[in-house]
Structure 1
Amino acid sequence: MASEQLRVLITNDDGYQARGIRALARAVASAGHEVLVVAPLTDQSGVGTARAGWVNRPITTASEDDDGITYIGVDGTPALAVTMARLGAFGKSPELVVSGINHGYNFGAILHSGTVGAALTGATQGVSGLAISIGSEDPRHLEVAADIAAELIDWLRDEPVGTVLNINVPDVPKTDLRGVRSARLAPVNPSRLKAGVAPTGEPIMILRDPDPSQDPESDEALLTEGYVTVTSITGVQALPDTSPAEHLSKHLD
């Protein structure tokens, strides 16, 4: 049992019926926490922190129960699910956001990840969080990643509000993990993306296989070696740099 029960929002970008979110919710509940599960009705992968079209319109929801946990789906993005929960749309506001388990890794250029975007959205709204992903589109060892996420809640509770972790877990039995490593985000590699043409004649974006050779301490490289990777991240913040404003002031005077 957890040393202190928290109300934890469980969300994702794969949809409220995904296997990953079910495994995650069960593990967090088994750790002694109160879980609130609110996630998109459908797959919202790649939407980042978007909340488009959410103001002044009714938002369709659906729900279903599984293993004593209620899973709520909202017609919108993960960031919208977080915002609605923090505003009290589903009862008491959560104290922590746990997003995932994403089917497939989120490493390197995580800016567009809906899974990571949910945790970052929580940070802008006064709570810490973590995003957790597993290295398969059809994972077989979700319970391993789920237990890792539940364990990290105990660490997050004592950290400053707004702390966010990005976690990636190889899809292997726990005994086959090589260990846990703190990892840098893999360098952005534009060559992984290529514009092509679909058989229909329409443009298509093609994603090449990862290349973990650029930085041996990156999340991409360490995942390739079989490690669980832990990366502390932050969202958009102002830098203490006054020179752009000073430059502009001189030209406006």
Structure 2
Amino acid sequence: MTNRPLILVTNDDGITAPGVRALIDAVKELGDIVVVAPDSPQSAMGHAITLNSTLHLERVAIDDSGRTEYSCSGTPADCVKIAVKEIIGRSPDICVSGINHGSNSSINVIYSGTMSAALEAGIEGIPAIGFSLLDYNYNADFTAAKTIATKITKEVLKNGLPKGVVLNVNIPNLPEKDIKGIKICRQANANWQEEFDKRQTPQGKDYYWLSGKFVNLDKGEDTDEWALENGFVSIVPVQFDLTAHHYVQQLNTWNFND
């Protein structure tokens, strides 16, 4: 037995992705690590879980560390569920998800498999953080992101998080010396203006490619988008309670019962 914290590491880009290997390296000195991650990329899966097919786990050895690592055939949320229930058998002290290849700021948190894994941990009562680097390149430089991930994970292990609160951390694609600091932010009001590129197969059957442009509608200087555009790491505390609490009182004035 050990008194070191137990750290669950997961992601959505797949267990061999450079981002999750960087995250493992960032937190390996902070506790004992168990890795459960998808066996293939699961980006933009949101909070999907596997209900109508079987799940498979395979013990893997990506390096010579001897640590406990499993690839899972399911989604990022599946990985957290099965890690807690079948592999660890108890709640880990923290769950870290990522480091995602690409942004999960603003509205992207809704679609993100990285953040859904972290939120699933939050649902289980586990302090959790999702990390993302604003570089979609498979061979992105994670040097600065690793430093940030170590620092923030240490703080969460020391201070804890309120039940149901998960941290969404986004890191600008800058050299470590050029990152100005860390800002606590709110989620920016931004969205995707989407289009479908309609094409046809040689057999005349229609098919579509989804494309779009990200548009920031928020001029505030307290948002994640502002922080990232200005060289700061953004931390947004998020929650899985989607109740619009500010509208409950107004909705109670409606007459639903006549």
Given the alignment, which residue of 32, 35, 46 partners 1:34? 32
Paired residues of 1:128 and 1:164 also in contact (CA < 8 A): yes
SS at match of 1:184: coil
**1:96 alignment partner in structure 2:** 94
Rate the CA distance shift 1:64–1:198 in 2: closer, same or farther, 3 A: farther
Q: With structure 1 as the length reference, what TM-score do the two structures score?
A: 0.85
Q: What letter is aligned with 2:232? A: Y
Work out the CA distance in 2 between the residues paired with 1:98 and 1:61: 20
Where do 1:71-90 residues align within 5 Å?
71-90=69-88
32-41 or 239-248: bigger deviation: 239-248
Gaps of 5+ in 1: none
Q: CA deviation at 1:198?
A: 4.0
Paired residues of 1:187 and 1:215 also in contact (CA < 8 A): no
Q: CA deviation at 1:23?
A: 0.9
Rate the CA distance shift 1:190–1:98 in 2: closer, same or farther, 3 A: same
Aligned CA RMSD, in angstroms, stands at 2.6
Q: What letter is aligned with 2:115? A: V
CA offsets, 1:98-117, max 9 Å, x none?
00000011111111100000
Q: CA deviation at 1:70?
A: 4.0
State percent identity of aligned pairs: 29
Work out the CA distance in 2 between the residues paired with 1:210 and 1:245: 34
Q: How many equivalent pairs are there?
A: 245
**2:49 alignment partner in structure 1:** 51
**2:182 alignment partner in structure 1:** 180
Work out the CA distance in 2 between the residues paired with 1:195 and 1:215: 31
CA offsets, 1:92-135, max 9 Å, x none?
54221100000011111111100000111111111110000001
CA offsets, 1:9-57, max 9 Å, x none?
1000000000010111111012x311111000000001111112278x3
CA offsets, 1:203-234, max 9 Å, x none?
22112255476444321232122211111111
Paired residues of 1:108 and 1:186 also in contact (CA < 8 A): yes
Rate the CA distance shift 1:60–1:37 in 2: closer, same or farther, 3 A: closer
**1:195 alignment partner in structure 2:** 196
